[in-house]
Amino acid sequence: MPKRINLISGIVDRLHVRWGAGCNRKRGNVREVGVESRVGVSQRIVRAVNRGSLSAAWLLGLAALGITSMSRSSDIEELAIIESFPKYLPNDCRGSKARLYNECGSQAEILVSAINAARKSEKTTLLLYGAEWCVWCFILNDTLNGQFHSSYFEYERDDSTGKWGVQEKTDVTVSERAQSLNAYVAQHFVIAHIEAEHAPDGAATVDAIGFDSDNIEFYPFMATLNNNGEYTDHLFGYQVMSQNSNRKDRNGRLLKQFDRAELLRRLKLMRAAAIADQ
């Protein structure tokens, strides 16, 4: 119990209120979000620790803008299950459209749950920072979970709706890379999906691990943490994308896609940095 209290106290001590941001801040998609004071976040975390459990209710809070993602699974017979947080999505937040991120609840609580699960299973916490309208955040999630072939997304934003699809011709090597990436992530990581735009403390939670959220201009953003909940390394999604003539949009235009081999290589380096900094 003392280690657990120290872990959460460290995160609480580093929390401070920040602003949420859009997918690309350079495009001016920055909007103010509802924020909770540092004291308010701290008190709620400490009260939960004193109760001796990280309640599943902490994880309830997701919803909204939402992207509906429909992806065909790969031909791999068995894909590894990656433990990720939040585990539950509420039905009373922003129209109940969210599928991945918690837009209404405490992101600090989600992160603490992931860190504790990672410590218990001797894995590394992988923080994924993004938003429900970020198509590439969903494609990254699909990629980590071993999916390929095709993905089709319908997304809604406060002022617009859209549809976007990707197609991927596959062969044996693609299947093998998809399986290797999925197996490695499931074996070595616990994922914390941290919401950037509507949650009360998304940016503050990223700041709390020791990375300045103002430096995040693009989603998805990935970061590894050591067992004390401290930042050790990071990666932006665009850094592991490569253009591939086998993937085109519905109009035949070449699309960027995640380079599975490079993503796996970078994740191995990030995990090594986290382990070295325990």
DSSP 154-203: EEEETTEEEEEEEEE---HHHHHHHHHHHHHHHHHEEEEEEESSSSTTHH
Confidence of residue 174 (pLDDT cuts 50, 70, 90): confident
Q: SS3 letters for 204-233?
A: HHHHHCCCCHHHCCECCEEEEECCCCCEEE
pLDDT value at residue 165: 62
Give the pLDDT mean for 1-20: 45
pLDDT tens for each residue of 83-137: 999 998 888 888 877 889 989 999 999 999 999 999 999 999 999 999 988 888 9
Tell me if the pTM is above 0.75.
Answer: no
pLDDT value at residue 63: 27
Give the pLDDT mean for 247-273: 83
What is the set of domains in the chain, with CATH numbers? 2-276 (3.40.30.10)
Confidence of residue 254 (pLDDT cuts 50, 70, 90): low
Q: Which residue has the higher pLDDT, 272 or 158?
A: 272
pLDDT value at residue 253: 62
Q: Which of 204, 213, 189, 171 is nearest to 264 (CA)?
A: 189
